[in-house]
A and B are shown apart, each in its own frame.
Chain A
Amino acid sequence: MSTNININVHHVTRVEGHGNIVVNAKDGKIEKCQWQVPEAPRFFEAMVRGRSYQDIQTIVSRICGICSITHSLASTKAVEDALGIEVSEQADKLRILMHYSEQLQSHSLHVGYLVAPDLFNAPSVVPLVAKAPDAVKAIIRVHRVANNWSDLIAGRTTHPVTLIPGGLCKIPTEQQLRDLKKELESSVNVLVAVCEVVQSAAGNLPQFERQTEYISLKQTNPPTYTFYHGDITSNDCNGDGPVNIRNWQKVANEYVSPQSTAKWTQWHRDSYMVGALARFNNNAELLSPLGKKVADMFGLKKGNTNPFMNNVAQLVEMAHVVETSIQMIDDLLTRGLKSETVKVSPRAGRGSGCVEAPRGILFHTYEFDKYGNCVYGNICIPTNQNHANIQKDFEKFVPEFMHLGQDALRHGMEMLVRAYDPCISCSTHFLNVEFV
């Protein structure tokens, strides 16, 4: 058994962005155990200054290719909050439908293409094509359904072009929505098949527990498993929550870590977790029947403290968004789609927008002058909020799994980072493992 460990993963693979893992242990004593984030900083908060409220979404969508719809929605909501713009019920529903398409896109990419190779002992999804062609085809099908869905409502899969302050500049036709509904209905069985394949290998997810704080949106009126509306809550809230999204800075408490070009965050404890598992832990009772069924398949219950189960919570949410969207399309079609025009006049003001990215809660705040030009921007990204939690997980994980030897430890740590579905471009850009 190795008691000397020297791990240096410089840029963890199969994650979005750049992050490093560094572990150094001598005679069983851990000398260094770090999660580092060296992503090239891109300075979006500085770049939005001077730009019109009409251009904010176009700029900040580029923070992240995988959650561009989420960034677009959060920034558009913030602009609307600042300028006092109301959005129609129809536009609100279509936006949520657009948002769900990205949850399915991102979760299927993450679980199917990035995590599955770990579960089946492959370096990437490519060798899995020969090993398990039906499973790969099923996940490709789900991913394609999600992409076509985004294409229809957002104008394309990445960096949406239909979102404008006040509403949408293009909406689908009723026939297109009916076709989408059919496609979603026929993908339910495929989705269940994907869940069954993952379930067959779920035993390869490490048994690891660590109590932490879980932060997500919570919507009470009406009670909803929310990604889009609501206030900020956590399992640690005792009379100090839920917090209005305009006060998100009281929750995030950002600080700069010397380990990272991305800022880190903390609220009631020294770290917190955001993402599918956090949403599940705070809102599980509000899941759709199929979402609950998938959770039961894996024995996932509210209060779970195994970060690796975030992958499973993503499968649960994939089932939930597909089932919920079928219902939402029915509602939209029953009311009939109306063409709406949007009138917006610039004014001075400050506003915030908050939505759940696939990988966790996301905050945007902007301030505009009376001409509608941006004078201030502040963005807090989910992956940043998870950095400190990953570090704290490492500090517990390494002593518990060191006896397995260096290679297994490194593999476990990479899987742990991947479980968070980090989007390091978002957080600035992050992931490398260094064992020095």
Chain B
Amino acid sequence: MTKPRVAIFDFACCEGCQLQIVNLEEEILDLINVVDVVEWREAMSEQSHEYDIALIEGSITRPEDEKRIEIIRSRCKILIALGSCATIGGINKLKNKFDLEEVKHCVYGKDAHMPHLETGMTKAVHEVVNVDYKIHGCPIDRKEFASVIRALLVGKKPVIPDYPVCVECKARENICRYEYNEICLGPIIRAGCGARCPSNGFRCFGCRGYVDNPNVEAAREVMDKYGLTVEDLRQKMVLFGCGQGPTV
């Protein structure tokens, strides 16, 4: 059997998700035995135009990047979006809240007109090309990444959780962040992270994006119970993938 050829590409992002792949340490050596990594700019000098699986990190923010992702899509059989920037536009989408000319001026001042500083609205990968699988999170969880890749290698459909963070948070017996007068996005955000942030005493800020069908009524009940409003929740839902999916 020939090994599947895997390529990793990055767009606008912090490259922290690629780092989680490196962080698999010895396990990555096992993965490398069963796949053929043909391109990974951050870690290797080799390059290739022929690959079966493309892993995409980062958001699409410029017209030339849209062309690049379309070419990658045409060359691969399976395209996987890796991490929040790719799956929901991530933190980069905060930019879309502003007028883009004004944003450029804010950062580059009188030089904002220079052609190489051009930018467009931030898009998640699926807003430009078809995405086969999404590995959520900012950054991705390295164990979840390994399990998705393993499933694909044996021809199984990877399991991506579709229940809220609260489920995992309760299983870890954490005290609810709302008890500390914080606004936590756990009730409507997709699990799979093991409720890592609330387990460390930090509110969920929504990096994994919404569950497919968020239980809006349940979320409203939580807000009512703690004397908060839907507007308070909405205010907190802008950091990751600003403007994504359904809103309560």
- Chain A contact residues, CB within 8 Å of chain B: 11, 13-17, 38, 40-43, 45-47, 49-51, 55, 58-59, 62-66, 68, 109, 113-114, 117, 123-126, 129, 137, 140, 143-144, 147, 155-159, 161-162, 164, 169-170, 256, 258, 260-261, 263, 425, 429
- In the complex, which of the residues A38, A43, A47, A68 contacts B14, with contact meaning CB atoms closer than 8 Å? A68
From B29, which residue of chain A is reached at the shortest CB distance? A129
Residue among A123, A158, A162, A261 with the most chain B CB within 10 A? Answer: A158
* Subset of 11 A-B contacts with CB under 8 Å: A13-B41, A14-B44, A40-B12, A41-B107, A59-B91, A109-B19, A126-B32, A140-B25, A143-B25, A256-B111, A425-B13
Q: Give the complex CA separation of A16 and B233 in angstroms.
A: 35
**How many whole Å from B106's CB to the nearest CB in chain A?**
4
Q: Verify if B220 is at the interface (C-beta below 8 Å from A).
A: no
Asked if residues A16 and B37 are in contact (CB atoms below 8 Å), the reply is no
Q: Verify if B45 is at the interface (C-beta below 8 Å from A).
A: yes
Asked if residues A55 and B45 are in contact (CB atoms below 8 Å), the reply is no
* Range class of the B interface residue count: 35 or more
Q: Verify if B117 is at the interface (C-beta below 8 Å from A).
A: yes
Q: Verify if B16 is at the interface (C-beta below 8 Å from A).
A: yes
- Which of the 9-residue segments B70-78, B151-159, B195-203, B222-230 touches chain A? B195-203
Asked if residues B205 and A55 are in contact (CB atoms below 8 Å), the reply is yes
Asked if residues B200 and A123 are in contact (CB atoms below 8 Å), the reply is no
Asked if residues B14 and A11 are in contact (CB atoms below 8 Å), the reply is no
**How many whole Å from A33's CB to the nearest CB in chain B?**
19
Q: Verify if B69 is at the interface (C-beta below 8 Å from A).
A: no
Asked if residues A126 and B116 are in contact (CB atoms below 8 Å), the reply is no
- List residues of chain A with CB within 8 A of the CB of B12: 40, 42, 429
- Render B113-144 as a binary contact track against A, CB cut-off 8 A, 1 for contact: 01011010000000000000000001100000
From B58, which residue of chain A is reached at the shortest CB distance? A40
**How many whole Å from B55's CB to the nearest CB in chain A?**
15
Q: Give the complex CA separation of A38 and B115 in angstroms.
A: 11
Asked if residues B108 and A164 are in contact (CB atoms below 8 Å), the reply is no
Asked if residues A13 and B44 are in contact (CB atoms below 8 Å), the reply is yes
- Render B36-63 as a binary contact track against A, CB cut-off 8 A, 1 for contact: 0100111111110000000000000110
**How many whole Å from B120's CB to the nearest CB in chain A?**
10
Q: Verify if B145 is at the interface (C-beta below 8 Å from A).
A: no
Asked if residues B43 and A124 are in contact (CB atoms below 8 Å), the reply is yes
- List residues of chain B with CB within 8 A of the CB of A45: 106-107
Q: Give the complex CA separation of A14 and B41 in angstroms.
A: 6
Asked if residues B138 and A147 are in contact (CB atoms below 8 Å), the reply is no
Residues A68 and B197 in contact in the complex (CB < 8 Å), given A58-B205, A144-B25: no
**How many whole Å from B135's CB to the nearest CB in chain A?**
15
Asked if residues B15 and A66 are in contact (CB atoms below 8 Å), the reply is yes
- List residues of chain B with CB within 8 A of the CB of A65: 13-19, 139
**How many whole Å from B35's CB to the nearest CB in chain A?**
12
Q: Give the complex CA separation of A65 and B14 in angstroms.
A: 5
From A59, which residue of chain B is reached at the shortest CB distance? B91
Asked if residues B117 and A42 are in contact (CB atoms below 8 Å), the reply is no
Asked if residues A113 and B43 are in contact (CB atoms below 8 Å), the reply is yes
Asked if residues A164 and B29 are in contact (CB atoms below 8 Å), the reply is no
Q: Verify if B95 is at the interface (C-beta below 8 Å from A).
A: yes
- In the complex, which of the residues A50, A117, A162 contacts B202, with contact meaning CB atoms closer than 8 Å? A162
- In the complex, which of the residues A144, A161, A258 contacts B200, with contact meaning CB atoms closer than 8 Å? A161
Residues A46 and B98 in contact in the complex (CB < 8 Å), given A14-B42, A62-B138: yes
From A67, which residue of chain B is reached at the shortest CB distance? B14
From A68, which residue of chain B is reached at the shortest CB distance? B16
- Render B6-28 as a binary contact track against A, CB cut-off 8 A, 1 for contact: 00000111111111101101100
- List residues of chain B with CB within 8 A of the CB of A123: 44-46
Q: Verify if B5 is at the interface (C-beta below 8 Å from A).
A: no
Q: Verify if B241 is at the interface (C-beta below 8 Å from A).
A: no
Asked if residues B119 and A43 are in contact (CB atoms below 8 Å), the reply is yes
- List residues of chain B with CB within 8 A of the CB of A143: 22-23, 25
- In the complex, which of the residues A40, A55, A157 contacts B11, with contact meaning CB atoms closer than 8 Å? A40
Q: Give the complex CA separation of A153 and B107 in angstroms.
A: 33
Q: Verify if B209 is at the interface (C-beta below 8 Å from A).
A: no
Q: Verify if B221 is at the interface (C-beta below 8 Å from A).
A: no
Q: Verify if B65 is at the interface (C-beta below 8 Å from A).
A: yes
Q: Give the complex CA separation of A41 and B98 in angstroms.
A: 15
- List residues of chain B with CB within 8 A of the CB of A64: 14-16
- List residues of chain B with CB within 8 A of the CB of A425: 13-15
Residue among A11, A41, A157 with the most chain B CB within 10 A? Answer: A41
Asked if residues B46 and A124 are in contact (CB atoms below 8 Å), the reply is yes
From B120, which residue of chain A is reached at the shortest CB distance? A40
Asked if residues A258 and B196 are in contact (CB atoms below 8 Å), the reply is no
Asked if residues B15 and A17 are in contact (CB atoms below 8 Å), the reply is yes
Q: Give the complex CA separation of A143 and B27 in angstroms.
A: 13
- List residues of chain B with CB within 8 A of the CB of A258: 114, 116
Q: Verify if B94 is at the interface (C-beta below 8 Å from A).
A: yes
From A48, which residue of chain B is reached at the shortest CB distance? B94
- In the complex, which of the residues B15, B32, B44, B202 contacts A155, with contact meaning CB atoms closer than 8 Å? B202
**How many whole Å from B41's CB to the nearest CB in chain A?**
5
Q: Give the complex CA separation of A144 and B22 in angstroms.
A: 10
- List residues of chain A with CB within 8 A of the CB of B167: none
**How many whole Å from A311's CB to the nearest CB in chain B?**
17
Q: Give the complex CA separation of A58 and B90 in angstroms.
A: 12
Q: Verify if B150 is at the interface (C-beta below 8 Å from A).
A: no
**How many whole Å from B158's CB to the nearest CB in chain A?**
22
Asked if residues A126 and B44 are in contact (CB atoms below 8 Å), the reply is yes
Q: Give the complex CA separation of A14 and B239 in angstroms.
A: 30
Q: Verify if B92 is at the interface (C-beta below 8 Å from A).
A: yes
Asked if residues A46 and B107 are in contact (CB atoms below 8 Å), the reply is yes
Q: Give the complex CA separation of A47 and B17 in angstroms.
A: 21
Asked if residues A43 and B106 are in contact (CB atoms below 8 Å), the reply is yes
Asked if residues B117 and A62 are in contact (CB atoms below 8 Å), the reply is no
Residue among A13, A123, A137 with the most chain B CB within 10 A? Answer: A13
Top-5 shortest CB links A-B:
A65-B16, A124-B44, A169-B201, A155-B200, A256-B111
Asked if residues B46 and A169 are in contact (CB atoms below 8 Å), the reply is no
- Render B89-105 as a binary contact track against A, CB cut-off 8 A, 1 for contact: 01110110110001110
